[in-house]
Structure 1
């Protein structure tokens, strides 16, 4: 019963994180207009958001090892809900920069904290369940698209929309607080005990590299799938949007069933086959002669990537339960760098090669991940 309640509460936290982040994303055009930020400036602001998120991840990792994931998840969730209103009330680029820097810190913190809590719940179940948590993050993003789009269509003031969403976030975190798993002696270090060094080792480095490569590929889908259909295949903007839509839907649906497959064949075999499938999907999209086939390729790409990265987080969190936060922060942080770098790398390469040729980078990343995953994940399955 305790594990079941903890699982539901962790689902709620993941969904809330996706919802809060999604509300910011769907309102970017409105907030940019209110603050007068140019497209170039917005790009720098988003990099600032990503950079402070990385800082939040690393700080949060150590706090988890000291206080447990429940406390850090609750504090980060409450802080994220409150600081979400910052961008909405920003009146200038400077205001927005400060607001996004603070928001990024707590978004990075909750990213690591909720994954650490998910690993603890999964450990209690003694079977794979982590992909389902990431599915709820995706559901939260889809809900934000619906709610945020509806509020925009109704002409709601973004400031009061964000204030209302923030209140909802606080209520969700407080409701989930008591059901989250409390820290144990195995997962935290007692007060007064010297901090045990959590060194980088080959396994942590490989897990971080795998996360980097596959999140790089995921970032390419986010920012370049619609551009590919519109610019390379001449699709209308409406049809081009279906590429990302298909990718997102398959990512979400597969995450709901990935745990069952992992339980049957093991995480190493799953990631290997899924990464190869993702490479085949992106190759198919790049080589597609028309938008319809390209959309199928992007959907297959989503199927391949969906359940892979959660396996790396699970493996990192189980290397040493007492240092789960530190190791998760490292793997999550390096992976997040891939998510940020992927779209930029493709954009830079298009100065010299075509967009479809530039897709060779994420394809090679998927192939390498498929080759390296068995050695990094084999210990999880034995």
Structure 2
């Protein structure tokens, strides 16, 4: 008899992804207010945001082994509570060093929940006969969009930043604790662990290849996040309001693509999703590079977002399924490398603009997408070694 699908755990995972996207998005829309309240410069803020990114990376590496030791059912609610507490502090900061401490805490909490929820998503996906990972990532985008609406409303009402972020923190803590009871524990049973052969350990080279592709794909995503609107305004000469459609077309296509990816992946497999997705992304960004027309460039950004949309979820899913005994630690490596790419992309493009035009600098992520096309075979399913329990996919 077929085991019932863990629908409650799937919905709970949707909630955590949405919650994380909402929390991060609400912080992002309040960055200008926090900058003014602390009296710091743009350059100082840039340095402190690097602190946030570094703390997130550390949180990811800590969360991975903890997920394998404690189980995701314990770690994910704890990570949500940690993130909720961390949300209180950026709005209370009144100097560069208090903001630095706040972002250190906030980054660590965000990195912890990032690995915990992705690791749990892999566990839930194992119990389904089809891929479901990309939809979780789409819910993160929905959470960010909801944060933009709520943030616009609270900022318009001139509600203090500390009040808004603290209320979001309380909301995050309560939802994390309530939702945690529906999660699954993905740790293998003791008899399964002892039965596995040493040869079942995944290749280190394979883990690094998955991480390298995640780095390339998320670097490209970071470029779109920070430079799409500026390209439309500075290179194509559009107004600020029209330039917003550049990032908007990318973000909408990314979200829609993630909702559609799971059904496509069930038909063609993860290799095709990454290979043809990266190829489409390279084509879309090439249109942006060479287009003299605004709306053709917007079309390029949409194709770029659509191409990238399914790649990262497939990579995270592949990493989490390499070895059930160390699923969290393996996930942390790949997610961490992807996150480094997300942070590095905007800075890399900014540095290159000192020597070459902005649109020409976009050829770097184009080349990285083409490299991902060539290495997409690393996601091909591999035979399960003798002695290792077969997981349901």
Please state how far the C-alpha of 1:71 moved relative to its aligned partner: 1.1
> Structure 1 residue 155 and structure 2 residue 151: aligned?
no
User: Structure 1: how far apart are the matches of 2:85 and 2:264?
Assistant: 38
Q: Return closer, same or farther for 1:344/1:189 CA change in 2, 3 Å cut-off.
A: farther
Deviates more, 1:284-293 or 1:317-326: 284-293
The answer to whether the Cα contact below 8 Å between 1:55 and 1:108 also exists between their aligned partners in 2 is yes
**Structure 1 residue aligned with 2:188:** 185
> Structure 1 residue 254 and structure 2 residue 272: aligned?
no
> Structure 1 residue 286 and structure 2 residue 274: aligned?
no
The answer to whether the Cα contact below 8 Å between 1:186 and 1:321 also exists between their aligned partners in 2 is no
**Structure 2 residue aligned with 1:378:** 380
SS at structure 2 position matched to 1:118: helix
The answer to whether the Cα contact below 8 Å between 1:187 and 1:323 also exists between their aligned partners in 2 is no
Deviations 1:172-193 (A, max 9, x none): 1122111010244349999xxx
The answer to whether the Cα contact below 8 Å between 1:64 and 1:72 also exists between their aligned partners in 2 is yes
**Structure 1 residue aligned with 2:49:** 46
Please state how far the C-alpha of 1:367 moved relative to its aligned partner: 0.6
Taking structure 2 as the reference length, the TM-score comes to 0.93
**Structure 1 residue aligned with 2:170:** 167
**Structure 1 residue aligned with 2:354:** 351
Q: Return closer, same or farther for 1:347/1:381 CA change in 2, 3 Å cut-off.
A: farther
Q: Return closer, same or farther for 1:36/1:198 CA change in 2, 3 Å cut-off.
A: farther
Mapping of residues 333-344 of structure 1, within 5 Å:
333-344=336-347
SS at structure 2 position matched to 1:209: helix
Deviations 1:63-87 (A, max 9, x none): 0110111211111101101111110
Q: Return closer, same or farther for 1:165/1:188 CA change in 2, 3 Å cut-off.
A: farther
Pick from 119, 123, 126 the counterpart of residue 122 of structure 2: 119
Q: Return closer, same or farther for 1:188/1:33 CA change in 2, 3 Å cut-off.
A: farther
User: Structure 2: how far apart are the matches of 1:156 and 1:326?
Assistant: 41
Deviations 1:35-86 (A, max 9, x none): 0110000000000000010000001111011011121111110110111111
The answer to whether the Cα contact below 8 Å between 2:278 and 2:369 also exists between their aligned partners in 1 is yes
**Structure 1 residue aligned with 2:388:** none
The answer to whether the Cα contact below 8 Å between 1:315 and 1:380 also exists between their aligned partners in 2 is no
Pick from 303, 307, 310 the counterpart of residue 307 of structure 1: 310
Q: Return closer, same or farther for 1:101/1:199 CA change in 2, 3 Å cut-off.
A: farther
Deviations 1:155-184 (A, max 9, x none): 111111111111111121122111010244
Pick from 236, 239, 243 the counterpart of residue 240 of structure 1: 243
Deviates more, 1:3-12 or 1:76-85: 76-85
Please state how far the C-alpha of 1:368 moved relative to its aligned partner: 0.5
Q: How many residues align?
A: 376
User: Structure 1: how far apart are the matches of 2:191 and 2:125?
Assistant: 17
The answer to whether the Cα contact below 8 Å between 1:187 and 1:324 also exists between their aligned partners in 2 is no
**Structure 1 residue aligned with 2:29:** 26
Please state how far the C-alpha of 1:322 moved relative to its aligned partner: 1.1
Mapping of residues 21-100 of structure 1, within 5 Å:
21-100=24-103
The answer to whether the Cα contact below 8 Å between 2:5 and 2:128 also exists between their aligned partners in 1 is no
> Structure 1 residue 16 and structure 2 residue 15: aligned?
no
SS at structure 2 position matched to 1:351: coil
> Structure 1 residue 140 and structure 2 residue 143: aligned?
yes
The answer to whether the Cα contact below 8 Å between 2:274 and 2:376 also exists between their aligned partners in 1 is yes
User: Structure 1: how far apart are the matches of 2:40 and 2:191?
Assistant: 44
User: Structure 1: how far apart are the matches of 2:242 and 2:359?
Assistant: 18
Moved over 4 A (4+): 186-190, 196-200
**Structure 1 residue aligned with 2:105:** 102
RMSD between aligned residues:
1.9
Deviations 1:145-164 (A, max 9, x none): 00011110111111111111
The answer to whether the Cα contact below 8 Å between 2:21 and 2:144 also exists between their aligned partners in 1 is yes
SS at structure 1 position matched to 2:381: helix
Runs of 5+ unmatched residues, structure 2: 194-198, 385-393
User: Structure 2: how far apart are the matches of 1:188 and 1:154?
Assistant: 58
Deviates more, 1:176-185 or 1:117-126: 176-185
Deviations 1:80-136 (A, max 9, x none): 011111100111111100000011001001000000000000001132000000000
The answer to whether the Cα contact below 8 Å between 2:138 and 2:258 also exists between their aligned partners in 1 is yes
